């Protein structure tokens, strides 16, 4: 009883309650109409879509699409966490399952079920339950209201020396990395040959933070000097330069997400600290993001040769139905969704429960063990490779270094591999609670708190929590967040108490 008394679900404020309820109702209706229209279009184009699985997929689209419609209607900030997740979720939960059947694209290295649609339907049932739990959990507060907290403000004496020191150190490290591989050309060649960067993880964590530390410092400097707000031409030029820098600091080793996530962060810095970013700019940015992911996929496959042969390989990808992993279809379904892998893991768990044992949390423990250096803990527990391989191919199939799956299973898939289908609602509840907590932090940090510059990273983290696995999440937090957080911690001081969260 005592524990239950500490849980509080937020209700709309009384002064805007009626208006907010009306807005939500309209967004819900628009989401219904839009998803029904889209589903009808799919059904008209593809006879194979006439199957019961479309119903739970449609329900998922309507449920998550309400937040997307709120975002499109301007009912929330362009970087509002609920709206961002809603926009991405429409593709993840609704469009991707339909596109898999429409294009007949599936993971190819496994023995497929008799009918993928059936298991997409079961998956979408769990997704719909999860979305509803997420919508409740994101409004839950745990415990009593926090005590007043101090905001972070810039320490004028420490800022410039620390900023220059960070930039000099990270730039020097990256130059050393290039020298180690014989220059940029040798660096690219080493990436193409594969496995050349093993053991450089800690070095990359420091060296590749140069662009984002530069961007954060520039935003703080503009704020301090009270410079007039730059126009969009200047800001687009700055973002272009930032993208090129990001390619030089990590992008050339095949890390597509390293570039995209950092660019998202840079746009967020502009929005929160320089000038508001409009929805039109974000939508144009999404188009650029997809184009970049598609083109970069060719480089990721074969380096510069992949880029030079991009046009021929694109034609080949279309001829084989888009099965080539660099095709634009696989960009949509392989990088931005997990429908086929999750439905297959669900199929294996239900139809062949005796062929592998649940991991019982070992993948999460293995991910946390990544934080411990290998020389300190030589026999660290495995991450998701062992449990994932056995989930796909049966117990005992995993042979380290010889036969192991590097698939990414996502929030639902990893929880299923560890604890079975009954853990799925709990996974969505944790996800929703984290999103709600980060959104409340964002509201508290708007009072000129420097930590607002970290908010785009946290928004990004919420999507990584959905599409990634625990090892991806640990890597993302440490690789992307450690150096910027350390920089802000060193150049700020605590000042003026704020209200609790």
User: To 5 degrees, how large is the angle CA 60–CA 61–CA 65?
Assistant: 120
pTM of the model: 0.87
Res 379 pLDDT > 60: yes
Token pair recorded at residue 179: 């020298």
Condensed to tens digits (0 to 9), the pLDDT of residues 251-271 reads 888 667 778 888 999 999 999
Per-residue pLDDT band for 327 (boundaries 50, 70, 90) equals: low
Distances (CA, A) of 133 to 11, 130, 139: 16, 5, 10
Strand 140-142 vs strand 7-9: parallel, antiparallel, or unpaired? Answer: antiparallel
As a whole number of angstroms, the distance between CA 207 and CA 232 comes to 29
For 1-10, 52-61, 175-184, 343-352, which range has the lowest pLDDT when averaged over its residues? 1-10
Per-residue pLDDT band for 16 (boundaries 50, 70, 90) equals: very low
Residue identified by tokens 């905001």 is 151
Res 3 pLDDT > 60: no
Condensed to tens digits (0 to 9), the pLDDT of residues 328-354 reads 787 788 888 999 999 999 999 999 888
The pLDDT, as a whole number, for residue 157 is 92
As a whole number of angstroms, the distance between CA 228 and CA 472 comes to 40
Token pair recorded at residue 363: 């993948």
Q: Calculate what percentage of the chain has a pLDDT beyond 90.
A: 52
Res 231 pLDDT > 50: yes
Condensed to tens digits (0 to 9), the pLDDT of residues 385-414 reads 889 999 999 888 888 878 888 899 999 999
Res 5 pLDDT > 70: no
The pLDDT, as a whole number, for residue 148 is 55
Mean pLDDT over each residue of the chain, to the nearest integer = 84
> Taking the domains of the chain in order of start, what are their residue ranges?
17-142, 150-332+427-498
User: To 5 degrees, how large is the angle CA 457–CA 247–CA 267?
Assistant: 35
Among 368, 382, 365, residue whose Cα is nearest residue 475:
368
Res 496 pLDDT > 70: no
For 282-286, 308-312, 343-347, which range has the lowest pLDDT when averaged over its residues? 308-312
Res 13 pLDDT > 60: no
């Amino acid at each position: 009883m005592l524990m239950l008394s500490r849980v509080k679900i937020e209700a709309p404020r009384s002064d805007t309650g009626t208006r907010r309820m009306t807005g939500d109702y309209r967004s819900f209706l628009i989401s219904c109409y839009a998803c029904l229209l889209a589903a009808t279009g799919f059904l008209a184009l593809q006879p194979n879509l006439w199957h019961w699985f479309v119903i739970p997929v449609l329900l998922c689209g309507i449920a998550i699409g309400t937040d997307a419609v709120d975002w499109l209607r301007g009912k929330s900030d362009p970087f509002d966490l609920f709206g961002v997740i809603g926009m991405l979720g429409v593709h993840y939960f609704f469009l991707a399952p339909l596109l898999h059947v429409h294009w007949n694209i599936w993971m190819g290295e496994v023995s497929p079920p008799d009918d993928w649609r059936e298991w997409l339907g079961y998956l979408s049932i769990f997704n719909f339950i999860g979305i509803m739990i997420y919508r409740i959990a994101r409004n839950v507060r745990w415990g009593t209201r926090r005590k007043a907290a101090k905001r972070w403000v810039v320490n004028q004496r420490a800022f410039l020396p620390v900023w220059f020191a960070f930039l000099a150190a990270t730039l020097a490290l990256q130059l050393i990395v290039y020298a180690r591989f014989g220059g940029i050309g040798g660096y690219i060649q080493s990436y193409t040959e594969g496995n050349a960067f093993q053991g450089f993880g800690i070095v990359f964590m420091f060296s590749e933070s140069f662009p984002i530390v530069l961007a954060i410092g520039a935003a703080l400097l503009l704020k301090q000097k009270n410079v007039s707000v730059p126009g969009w031409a200047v800001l687009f030029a700055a973002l272009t330069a930032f993208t090129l820098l990001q390619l030089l600091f990590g992008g050339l080793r095949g890390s597509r997400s390293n570039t995209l996530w950092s660019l998202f962060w840079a746009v967020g810095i502009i929005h929160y600290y320089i000038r508001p970013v409009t929805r039109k700019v974000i939508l144009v940015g999404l188009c650029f993001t997809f184009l970049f992911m598609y083109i970069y996929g060719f480089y990721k496959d074969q380096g510069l040769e992949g880029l030079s042969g991009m046009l021929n390989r694109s034609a080949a990808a279309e001829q084989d139905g888009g099965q080539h992993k660099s095709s634009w279809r696989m960009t949509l379904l392989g990088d931005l969704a997990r429908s086929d892998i999750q439905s297959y893991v669900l199929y294996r768990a239900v139809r062949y429960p005796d062929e592998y044992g649940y991991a019982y949390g070992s993948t999460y423990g293995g991910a946390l063990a990544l934080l411990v250096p290998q020389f300190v803990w030589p026999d660290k527990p495995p991450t998701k490779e062992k449990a994932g391989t056995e989930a796909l191919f049966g117990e005992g199939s995993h042979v380290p270094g010889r036969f192991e799956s590097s698939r990414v299973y996502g929030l639902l898939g990893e929880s299923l591999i560890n604890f079975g289908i009954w853990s799925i609602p709990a996974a969505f509840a944790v996800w929703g609670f984290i999103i709600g907590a980060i959104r409340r932090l964002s509201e508290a940090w708007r009072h000129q708190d420097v930590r607002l510059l970290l908010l785009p990273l946290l928004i990004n983290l919420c999507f990584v929590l959905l599409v990634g696995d625990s090892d991806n999440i640990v890597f993302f937090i440490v690789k992307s967040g450690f150096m910027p957080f350390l920089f802000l911690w060193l150049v700020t001081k605590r000042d003026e108490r704020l209200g609790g969260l």
